[in-house]
Amino acid sequence: MTQTLAFPSRPAAPSAPVLELAGVIKEYPGDPPVVALGGVDLRIVEGELAAIVGPSGSGKSTLLHVMGTLERPTHGVVRIAGEDTSVMSDKQLSGLRARRLGFVFQQFFLLDGLSVLDNVAGGLLYRGGRAADRRRLAAEAAEMVGLGHRLRHRPNQLSGGEQQRTAIARALVGRPALVMADEPTGNLDTATGGSILDLLRGLHAGGTTIVVITHDAGVAAATDRRIEIRDGMIISDTHAGS
């Protein structure tokens, strides 16, 4: 069962591309060079919930890094919210990540020294502004992922599922154009993983654009769109019900 989580409340314009990859090639130096992505074209539109599926070594992590501007492609263009990232400086890319993108990682990457509230507020840290405002928004986001009663707890006092919810709240708090989740259920048991998937679907129903990267076919089955990748190439792109 999926509840609708109306946060963030971006005006829906279903056809606008949030993310566009055109002819993206990523090579790592070596002899011969290792080709991690061999020419990827991909378009994610606003409001989508898509899964990128592939076995380990298929290049899906590299794809996530390139999509998330954490790494530049060797060739090709990555556009986020219509802007060409290849002409941006490192500083501008940082600004883009701070304002347009949200990340969820398999290992959660929460900071042990901070409470749940401050970890979530960390999603807004590099936008500046008043700390009190950031905490207020963080409390709302934590409430939405079901952690309203855990705000003062430290990450090591939380279950794995609660830690991942904290990380999701941190990715959402800035109402990014696109949330990228890298194996969000990879470190969780099946039941907890299922509840995290439900949370992501609920967020999607509320209008958040989400890309999940996974090797788990079960996770991929829970999404509307399924993009299969193998050896750095997209081999299939199917929409649920089509």
Partner 1 sequence: MIRTRARDPGASRLTAADLLRVGSLGLRSRRARAALSALGISIGIAAISGVLGIAQTSKASLLAELGQLGNLLTVQSGSTLSGTQAELPTTAEGMVSRIGPVTGVAEIASLSSVYVYRTPFIPVIDTSGIALTAASPSLPAAVGATVAYGRFLNPATARYPAVVLGAEAASLLGIDNLAQPAQVWIGGHYFTVVGILRPVPGPVEQQTQMDSMAFIGFPVAEQYFSFDGHPTGLYVRAVFSQVAAVAAVLPDTVDPASPAAAQVTEESGILEAEVAAKGAYNGLFLGLGAVALLVGGVGIANVMVISVLERRSEIGLRRALGATRRHVAEQFLAEALLLSALGGLAGTVIGIAATAAYANTQHSQMLIPPQALYSGTGAALAIGALAGLYPAMRAARLSPTAALRTV
Which residues of the shown chain bind partner 1 in the complex (CB under 8 A)?
A: 65, 68, 70-71, 81, 83-92, 94-101, 103, 105, 107, 109, 111-114, 122-123, 125-129, 131, 170
CB of 7 or CB of 103, closer to partner 1? 103
- What are the φ/ψ torsions at residue 215 (nearest 5 degrees)? -105, 0
CB of 169 or CB of 222, closer to partner 1? 169
- What are the φ/ψ torsions at residue 121 (nearest 5 degrees)? -65, -25
- The strands making up 233-239's β-sheet, listed across from edge to edge, are 101-104, 178-182, 210-214, 49-53, 225-230, 233-239
CB of 242 to partner 1, least distance (A): 33
CB of 96 to partner 1, least distance (A): 5
Residue type at position 177: A
CB of 178 or CB of 222, closer to partner 1? 178
Instruction: Indicate the Cα dihedral angle 14, 16, 22, 25, nearest 10°.
Output: -70
CB of 223 to partner 1, least distance (A): 22
| 8 A C-beta contact, residue 116 and residue 151 | yes
Nearest to 44 by CA among 210, 155, 157, 221: 210
CB of 176 or CB of 202, closer to partner 1? 176
CB of 29 to partner 1, least distance (A): 14
